[in-house]
Structures are given as structure tokens and as C-alpha cells.
Amino acid sequence: MDNKTQSDGSDRSDRSDRSDRSDQSDPPHRRIRPSGGYRALRSFQVATMIYDATVAFCERFVEKRSRTVDQMVQAARSGRQNIAEGSRAAAASSQTELRLVNVARASLDELLLDYEDFLRQRGLPQWSKESPEAMRVRSVGRGHRSDWSDWSDRSDRSDRSDPSGQPNPYSQWLSSPDPGLVANALICLIHQANYLLDRQVAGLEKQFIHDGGYSERLATERIAERQRQKEVKRTDRSNQSDRSDPSDRSDRSNQSDRSDPSDPSDRSDPTDPSDKHSAPDCPNCGKPMALRTARKGPNAGAQFWGCSAYPECKGIRNLDRPM
């Protein structure tokens, strides 16, 4: 009984040791596209202040049984949440990220109209863009850096403290008992958020055009990895042939020439564009090429071969061109 218990214990410890070692041997996976980091975005921080201020505005100045309360709160919430969701979606889809940021922009436009309606229907004046009151509110946001200037670092910062817990620099306007003053200040904030989101969308579009989408970058990484594996196998075969008997080299080379194409050890996929039989080498740098699709111009929708080292190398080949 004791021997069995000891053997069971040793088996479990061996298995746990093996699992621990296997975990330690696996290097951390590098994400192809970074995502997250939305809490550091100025657009997200301004949208958070707009959301909180809209909830307080509706509680103080709008009839609670009015459907406008729910519409304004949901529009403000959508403006904030879609920025965060789009930032998260960046890891797998550039188009989803762009779409969600545009949804946030549209939600804030809807909220902007609600505040303008509030002022107009109650006969309250709306500040012009160049009025002294609007300029004072806008000057608070000028102390912050451009929203897109920090977007090169998009690492996951979701564990950072929520900016909503920090002092609100607009509290002197947003906590005022005058509903017209609060509504005008929020209109200025919405304009600032929309400006930041417009810059964010422009930056995302530029990044997409320059670096390609997630699928293109994933295919590029896969082609590069397959090329690396082929180089390793070629090096291993070369090393093995150097250590073998010279009298056996000719026999093995003849056997390899007569190898059966149906041999299951040959795992090359003739339909795979990254395979050496179908993917050509770049005419400029010699690296393997990736199958791409033209997105604009007279050949929009047509496929062609593009260098996997793009944008460093811009070599291309026609799809129907002989390799």
C-alpha cells in the first residue's frame, strides 16, 4: 500500500515537473497587432467626462419620465464604450476597429443634437465657436497632447487606473446650477471629442494603407515562418550529409530523385500560395511573396503577388505571370 502511494506520488510529481518545464520552454507569443491602451487615449478620456456629465445633466435638468433621458445617456455611453471596444478589436480586425470608432463618432453627433435641441426649445442662447465662454472651455483641452501622437504605443494598459476617478478640469462649468451653461460646456466637449475621433480615424486609415490589415499581416508572418522552417530543414539535411559516409551519398541522392510524390512525409501544399511551387520570390529582394488584393484604382479587387517584406520592399508580380 505504501509503495503504491509513493509510486503514485512520484508519478504525479513527474507529470507536474514535465508540465512546468514545458510551460517554461514555450516562449511568450508576440501579438501580430497590438491592442488595448484605450485608457491613455485623450478621446476616451473626454468621452468618459461627457458620459458622466450627461448622466448628471439628465438627473438635474431633464424630466425623468421623458424618453430623452434614456436616449441621451445611451448615446453618451455608446460614444465611450465603442472607443474601448474598437481598441480591443484592433488585435484581430482593422476594419472592425475603424467601424466601432466611427460608431462612437456618430453617437456623439446624436448627443450633440440633443443638447442643441435642449437650448433651442427652452430659449437659451448657444455659444458661438469664437465666443469668450467657449474659448475658455476649449483652452482647458489645449494642454493635452494630440490624440494620435501617442498611438504608436498600443500595448494593453487595461490595468491602469480609470481616468474617471481623476479630478475633472471642467467641473466649474459642469457643476453649475445654470442648465444653459452646463449644456453649452458639454457641446464644447463633444466638439473636442469629435475632433479627436476624426484624427483617430484618419490615423487608423493611414496605418491600414501603410501596413495592411490583420489578414495580410498574418499571411506575411506565416510565409516568413514557413521560409524559416525550410531554411532550418535545409541546414539540418546539409549537416547530416556532411557527417555521413561519402560512399552512401550518391545512393541517397538517387533515391531522393526517385521519391514517390504521394509520400506522406512530403507535407507541402501545392494549393498554398506560400509554398515554394506557387509563391514566387520577390524580384527586388528575393524574399517570398504574399498573395494580396488591390483595394483601389482600375485593378481594384484583382489579386497580385506582393513582397512579404512590405513596406520595406515594394516588389510586385502579376498573378498570371510565369514564375
What pLDDT digit, counting tens, does each position of 85-110 carry? 988 887 777 788 889 999 999 999 99
How high does pLDDT run on average in the chain? Answer: 76
The burial of 274, by beta-carbon neighbours within 10 Å (0-12 exposed, 13-18 middle, 19 or more buried), is given as buried
Distance (Å) of CA 228 to CA 84, 268, 291, 301: 36, 14, 18, 30
Q: How many CB atoms lie within 10 A of CB 282?
A: 21
Does the structure show a pLDDT above 50 at 205? yes
- Tell me how far apart the alpha carbons of residues 307 and 314 are, in angstroms, rounded to a whole number: 6
Span 152-165, average pLDDT: 45
Q: How confident is the model at residue 18 (pLDDT cuts 50, 70, 90)?
A: very low
Residues 153 and 284 in one domain: no
Q: Do 149 and 216 fall into the same domain?
A: no
Strands 289-293, 303-307: parallel, antiparallel or unpaired by DSSP? antiparallel
Residue 31 placed within a domain: no
Number of domains in the chain: 2
Q: How confident is the model at residue 29 (pLDDT cuts 50, 70, 90)?
A: low
Is 166 among the domain residues?
yes
pLDDT (0 to 100) of residue 194: 96
Q: Which residue would you say has higher pLDDT here, 262 or 196?
A: 196
Cα dihedral sign for 272, 273, 278, 281? negative
Same structural domain, 176 and 223: no
User: Do 222 and 177 belong to one domain?
Assistant: no
| pLDDT at residue number 25 | 47
Q: Is residue 180 part of a domain?
A: yes
Is 259 within the bounds of a domain? Answer: no
CA distance 225 to 288: 11
Q: Are residues 93 and 204 in the same domain?
A: yes
* One domain for residues 81 and 171: yes
Strand order across the 289-293 sheet: 289-293, 303-307, 316-318
Looking at residue 224, its pLDDT comes to: 75
Question: Are residues 160 and 181 located together in one domain of the fold?
Answer: yes
pLDDT for 212 = 66
The answer to whether residues 50 and 188 belong to one domain is yes
pLDDT at 11 over 70: no
Question: Which pLDDT score is estimated for 314?
Answer: 85
Asked if residue 278 belongs to a domain, the reply is yes
Q: Is residue 294's pLDDT more than 50?
A: yes
Residue 38 cell numbers, joined: 484605450
Neighbours of 195 (CB within 10 A): 14
- Whether the pLDDT of residue 246 is over 60: the answer is no
214 pLDDT band, cuts 50/70/90, is low
| pLDDT given at position 299 | 80
pLDDT band for position 225 (cuts 50, 70, 90)? confident
Q: Which of 187, 186, 191 is nearest to 171 (CA)?
A: 186
Same domain, 205 and 216: no
* 80 and 122 belong to one structural domain: yes
- Would 77 be classed as within a structural domain? yes
Last residue of a domain, one of 165, 180, 211: 211
Percent of the chain with pLDDT over 70: 65
Whether residue 9 is contained in a domain is answered as no
Say what the pLDDT of residue 272 is: 45
Q: Which residue has the higher pLDDT, 256 or 170?
A: 170
pLDDT, mean of residues 201-222: 73
pLDDT of residue 222: 72
C-alpha cell at 264: 506522406
Confidence class of residue 231 from pLDDT cuts 50, 70 and 90? confident
Within a domain: 21: no
Residues 303 and 172 in one domain: no
- Indicate if 159 and 55 belong to the same structural domain: yes
Query: For residue 51, what are the domain limits?
Result: 38-211
Q: What is the pLDDT of residue 46?
A: 95
